[in-house]
A and B are shown apart, each in its own frame.
Chain A
Amino acid sequence: MDFSFLQHTYAWHALIAGCCAGVTCALAGVFVVTMHLAFLGVCIAHAAFAGGLMGVWLGFDPLVGALAFSLGVAAMVGPMADRGDITPDASIGILFSLMIGLAFLFIGLVPGSRSEALNLFWGSILTVSRADLAVLIAAAVIMAGGVTLFYKEVQAVLCHRHVAMAVGIPATLVFYGMLFATGLTIAVSLRIIGGLLIYSLIINPAAAAFQLTYSLKRMMLLACLFGVLSCWTGLAASFLWDLPAGASIVIASCIIFAVAAACSPKKRVKAWKRAHTAG
């Protein structure tokens, strides 16, 4: 195989960007997959997408629009789900449809060439600038640092939210913090991965890791590994066989999930549970 592409700066930028996005998206994925809120990740991804497109339409940095929309949706979904007036599924679904509607509205309103708007669809990991890299590295450090510092609070809220509240952990604050971290991750990764593909990088590595372990720490490490592996494998396939990078990354993450699901020790756990927990 010809690995001469590694001589180019853009290839190294793409690999570093893939590593950072792989880690941050995977950790955000652990939040939403463990809490069974995978659709929330999809909803925030589309919000970031709509916000980015609004930036393109109005002529400001799409990152700012993506941040505003994804954090705004994260701020709305938490209280809506907690109040219980509308079921979380329904509230997330309504916001999701609104974000899709806004995204297509903004695309329609973009004057002239729509190449920048389409870049937000597919992402452009092969044209990552130094400034983009700095933002991605900062996001990865904030996310990994935050999870390390507040691991016990994150673990309590992910696995036992009601217990966490009852033992005096500010569980609602931690929950909203995780939603905000997810929004931030999606917004900063949007430009390189793309609005249509980013939620795959959030859900698939975390879902694959979830299949393989009963330890949250190990799940986080595995998810990060799978996230980076998806990005690097996808990039290698893109460089070697001239395939679209974003699509290759997503397909790599799906293959990793399929292998993990096939090897999962949890496959038969529900049947085991039924047989052993009659008491």
Chain B
Amino acid sequence: MSYREDVALEGVSLSVGRGEFVGVIGPNGAGKTTLLSVINGLGRLTHGRVHVLGKTPHRRDGYLLRRRVGYVAQVEPVDPRLPISVRESVMVGLYGRLGWLRRPGRSEWARVDAALEQVGMTHLAARPIGHLSGGEYQRVAIARALAQAPEIFLFDEPTASIDPQAQHEILDLIQDIHRRNHATTLYVTHALDTLPRACDRLVLLKGGRLWREGPTAAMLDPALLRALYNGADAPPALRGG
């Protein structure tokens, strides 16, 4: 499978059960983001097969499957003058499910408001999206995914580029969402100190290959991690809820 023109993952065979919380770790360039992009059908599959919720995401109608998958990317730069409010931005999460020509009604706005309340952003609902801090922006991204009511959550380095306090709060929020919704969750990070403790299983990627996978405690063996990161990162101290 490839991301843009480079082949980023090879020989990966991975199965994730319904309701599982799977952490994906590895150094930069290991293929973590590519793995998520293949699951939601936005990455290009050059060989092999992918089945998500019983469907193939890489067909022309892959966008129908994406309506059932919530994706939270890392913080991205947003034009502070962008003409869209926090509440409208969360509503975008529901647009795919609404389909062509249907407008959001009262029930959709109620779902948006409930999602904003769950992430603690009700008080900023009317604020322009570009006026948020990194941590606030990520809460909105999570609310957007929540409003979508997905069967799978994909988190791609959601705590990157935000301050430690906000990272801690986002991790708590993600774990709380998993506890409440029991949705299948894949969480990607290269920084081990932002790995949620709620992960049932860890997948270790290295050089575009699935290097190891297993129960979280076993995969966090310091010797294993030193080998994974080639000694570049210190062994982790788990944190989070």
Q: B66 touching A156 by the CB < 8 A rule?
A: no
CA distance A149 to B71 in the complex (A): 27
Interface residues contributed by chain A, number (CB under 8 Å): 37
Q: Can you list 17 residue pairs at the A/B interface with Cβ under 8 Å?
A: A150-B100, A151-B103, A152-B98, A153-B95, A160-B84, A163-B144, A166-B40, A167-B67, A167-B93, A168-B96, A169-B95, A214-B85, A269-B81, A273-B130, A276-B133, A277-B134, A279-B135
Contacts of B120 in A (CB 8 A): none
- Closest B residue to A270 by beta carbon equals B80
Q: A156 touching B92 by the CB < 8 A rule?
A: yes
Q: B73 touching A162 by the CB < 8 A rule?
A: yes
Interface residue ranges of A33-68 to B (CB < 8 Å): 34, 36
Contact of B81 (CB < 8 Å), options: A150, A170, A210? A210
CA distance A150 to B162 in the complex (A): 35
Contacts of A6 in B (CB 8 A): none
Interface residue ranges of A95-115 to B (CB < 8 Å): none
The answer to the question of A155 belonging to the interface, with a C-beta cut-off of 8 Å to chain B, is yes
Interface residue ranges of B72-120 to A (CB < 8 Å): 73, 76, 79-85, 88-89, 92-98, 100-101, 103-104
Mask of B25-62 contacts with A, CB within 8 angstroms, 1/0: 00000000000000010100000000000000000000
* Interface contact tally, CB-CB below 8 A: 111
CA distance A149 to B93 in the complex (A): 19
Contacts of A213 in B (CB 8 A): 83
Q: A160 touching B81 by the CB < 8 A rule?
A: no
Q: B104 touching A152 by the CB < 8 A rule?
A: yes
- Closest B residue to A166 by beta carbon equals B71
CA distance A36 to B130 in the complex (A): 15
The answer to the question of A216 belonging to the interface, with a C-beta cut-off of 8 Å to chain B, is yes
The answer to the question of A142 belonging to the interface, with a C-beta cut-off of 8 Å to chain B, is no
CA distance A214 to B80 in the complex (A): 10
The answer to the question of B63 belonging to the interface, with a C-beta cut-off of 8 Å to chain A, is yes
Most chain A CB atoms below 10 A, which of B83, B88, B103, B162: B83
Interface residue ranges of A153-177 to B (CB < 8 Å): 153, 155-156, 159-160, 162-170
CA distance A200 to B148 in the complex (A): 40
Q: A215 touching B83 by the CB < 8 A rule?
A: yes
- Closest B residue to A171 by beta carbon equals B63
Q: B80 touching A278 by the CB < 8 A rule?
A: no
Interface residue ranges of A75-132 to B (CB < 8 Å): 84
The answer to the question of A13 belonging to the interface, with a C-beta cut-off of 8 Å to chain B, is no
CA distance A216 to B98 in the complex (A): 20
Q: A170 touching B63 by the CB < 8 A rule?
A: yes
Q: A279 touching B83 by the CB < 8 A rule?
A: no
The 6 closest A-B pairs by CB, nearest first: A168-B96, A168-B67, A168-B66, A167-B96, A166-B71, A214-B128
CA distance A153 to B89 in the complex (A): 12
- A84-B4, A215-B85 given. 5 additional CB < 8 A pairs? A34-B83, A163-B92, A165-B42, A269-B80, A279-B162
Q: B73 touching A169 by the CB < 8 A rule?
A: no
- Closest B residue to A160 by beta carbon equals B92
Q: B103 touching A159 by the CB < 8 A rule?
A: no
Most chain B CB atoms below 10 A, which of A34, A151, A214, A273: A214
